[in-house]
């Protein structure tokens, strides 16, 4: 590969990395909401109820008192085998 092609390739890669970084930063800055009842066992962000320390402590899939952060406006459209996500905390599992 000649010097000009190498320089062009390096510039293209740098631009792609820069674009990827700005996209992920903007996605991280987007408004989020707590969505209850969508997390899989051990994958909640927080609020898993009494006797838990918080993130990663849900005991069952789709536990209604455990939440995950999701893009604002998407929670109640998410479907799980247990139903839609909820913006309100549900009861602890029995």
Backbone torsion region of residue 43, taken as left when φ is above 0, otherwise alpha when ψ lies between -120 and 50, otherwise beta: alpha
The pLDDT assigned to 51 comes to 55
Task: Tell me the C-alpha distance between 42 and 51, whole Å.
Answer: 14
| Same structural domain, 53 and 89 | yes
Q: What is the Cβ-side half-sphere exposure of residue 17, based on CA atoms within 13 angstroms?
A: 6
Task: Tell me the C-alpha distance between 35 and 75, whole Å.
Answer: 5
pLDDT in tens, 18-46: 444 444 556 678 899 999 999 999 999 97
| Same structural domain, 35 and 71 | yes
Q: What's the total number of domains in the chain?
A: 2
Decide which of 5 and 31 is more confident.
31
| Same structural domain, 38 and 64 | yes
pLDDT in tens, 49-81: 565 567 888 899 999 999 999 999 999 999 999
Alpha helices in the chain (DSSP H): 3-29
| Same structural domain, 70 and 81 | yes
> What is the domain extent for residue 23?
1-30
Q: Is the predicted pLDDT of residue 5 greater than 80, yes or no?
A: no
């Amino acid at each position: 590969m000649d010097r000009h092609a190498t320089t062009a390739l390096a510039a293209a890669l740098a631009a792609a990395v820069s674009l990827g970084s700005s996209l992920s930063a903007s996605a991280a800055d987007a408004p989020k909401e707590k969505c209850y009842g969508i997390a899989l066992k051990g994958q909640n962000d927080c609020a898993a109820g009494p006797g838990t320390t918080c993130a990663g402590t849900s005991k069952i899939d789709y536990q209604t008192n455990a939440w995950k952060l999701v893009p604002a406006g998407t929670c109640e459209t998410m479907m799980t085998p247990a139903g839609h996500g909820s913006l309100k905390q549900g009861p602890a599992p029995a």
